[in-house]
Amino acid sequence: MRTIEPGGRGCDDLRDGGPVEEVRGVLPPRIVRRLVMVPLLLVVMAAVVVTLPLLALVAAVASPLLPGRWRALRLLVFALVWLALESATLFACLALWVASGFGGRIRLASFQERHYAVMRWFLATVYKAATRAFRLTVEIDEPELTPEEAAARLTRPVIVLSRHAGPGDSFLLVHHLLSRYRRRPRIVMKAALQLDPGLDVMINRLPHAFVSPRRGPGSGVIDEIVRLATDLGPTGALVIFPEGGNFTERRRLRAIARLEERRLPEQATRARGMGHLLAPRSGGAIAAITAAPTADVIFVAHTGLDDLVTVGDIWRSLPMEKTLRAGWWRVVAADVPREREAQVRWLYDWWERIDAWIGERRTPAPRPEPTAPPTALTD
């Protein structure tokens, strides 16, 4: 789930060229997406089911010729599960739309909770399928479950500041918020994700925001973050990715250059010392903290799916027999700085800590290659 987040002071640019504003009219209109993308998904699902024996044979034959253990067969199994879940989600959303009086009550709290339940089921099933098909282990370092921590998980809103490392890590993050912590996440997402019919239908019914990078005045992202942070409630979780994009060395150097151009030598020096993260852009984080002063702040680090951004990345670097690691740290609202310069320094302090955490855990030991193929989604 690729998300985007604005820059530092005030409303800095998301990319090199200019600021970010909410984009309307760039994607096909909603009615066109519903009439084209939804049927297309169902047609693809039907075609895969009909040709599954042939696809399975091709994948089995091709797998020994590819790196990794039965890569093509594993990907086929996971793709089939994903298509089935997307189709089931669309039918569930249709049922909820009818039950709400053909959309008349779709924004009521009861129907919002039902949509979150569908999202929770979807991500939990994807998580189970992925960990079994690819034999992944997920380890989470989190605050000790003291009585105070247990109460905080149930009663206080949170602002989640996470590193940005591709759709896989983002899906894991949202899954854990929904299933492990029983939160209602709110996310600012890239508008192009609405081309995914399941996301398009589901997320547009929940308090999230779709935005797109564009050159021009203003920053709709800041406005959207403030809107989402204003009424989080005790189970709300606003998810922000302060880096603004996935890590590459080129983007890292560009971020440092921007800081130097803005005459922020201290921040540039600190960013140069981080080898796994981009310099954090503080504008969105500070806007959220200001709009939700009673919210705790959760910092999230993760590693294991860092390099999986495009379909080509997944094909070349599909993680198998790996351990995915995540770290969560809570800062209670009373300990969050309230003065802007102190907030920026505090954000960099945490980013340096996350960078060090990633560096200590990023390179797992390789495992030996097996001689037998996997058995679908069972260990």
Give the three-class secondary structure for 160: strand
**Least confident segment among 167-171, 217-221, 257-261:** 217-221
> What's the mean pLDDT in 56-62?
91
Residue 180 maps to a domain: yes
Integer Cα distance of 197 and 318 in angstroms: 24
> What's the mean pLDDT in 3-31?
46
Q: How many domains does the chain have?
A: 1
Residue 90 maps to a domain: no
What distance, in Å, lies between the first and last C-alpha atoms of the chain? 27
Average pLDDT, the chain: 83
Of the pLDDT bands very low, low, confident and very high (cuts 50, 70, 90), residue 373 is: very low
> What's the mean pLDDT in 116-124?
96
**Least confident segment among 33-37, 68-72, 122-126:** 68-72
Pairing mode, strands 184-190 and 209-213: parallel
Instruction: For residue range 247-258, list pLDDT tens digits in order.
Output: 888 999 999 999
- 205 pLDDT higher than 90: yes
Residue 74 maps to a domain: no
Give the three-class secondary structure for 325: strand
Residue 292 maps to a domain: yes
Residue 208 maps to a domain: yes
**Least confident segment among 41-45, 46-50, 240-244, 311-315:** 311-315
Residue 56 maps to a domain: no
> What's the mean pLDDT in 348-364?
87
Integer Cα distance of 32 and 159 in angstroms: 34
Tokens 């993260």, located at residue: 277
Integer Cα distance of 6 and 219 in angstroms: 8
pLDDT of residue 12: 37
pLDDT of residue 349: 97
Instruction: For residue range 39-58, list pLDDT tens digits in order.
Output: 999 999 999 999 999 999 99
> What's the mean pLDDT in 45-74?
87
> What's the mean pLDDT in 112-117?
96
> What's the mean pLDDT in 100-123?
95
Tokens 């959220």, located at residue: 288
pLDDT of residue 317: 57
Number of helical (H) and strand (E) elements in the chain, helices listed first: 13, 8
Residue 95 maps to a domain: no
Instruction: For residue range 79-97, list pLDDT tens digits in order.
Output: 999 999 999 999 999 999 9
Q: pTM of this prediction?
A: 0.83
- Domain span at residue 197? 20-27+135-361
Residue 181 maps to a domain: yes
Of the pLDDT bands very low, low, confident and very high (cuts 50, 70, 90), residue 378 is: very low
**Percentage of residues in the chain with pLDDT exceeding 90?**
55
Q: How many CB atoms lie within 10 A of CB 360?
A: 10
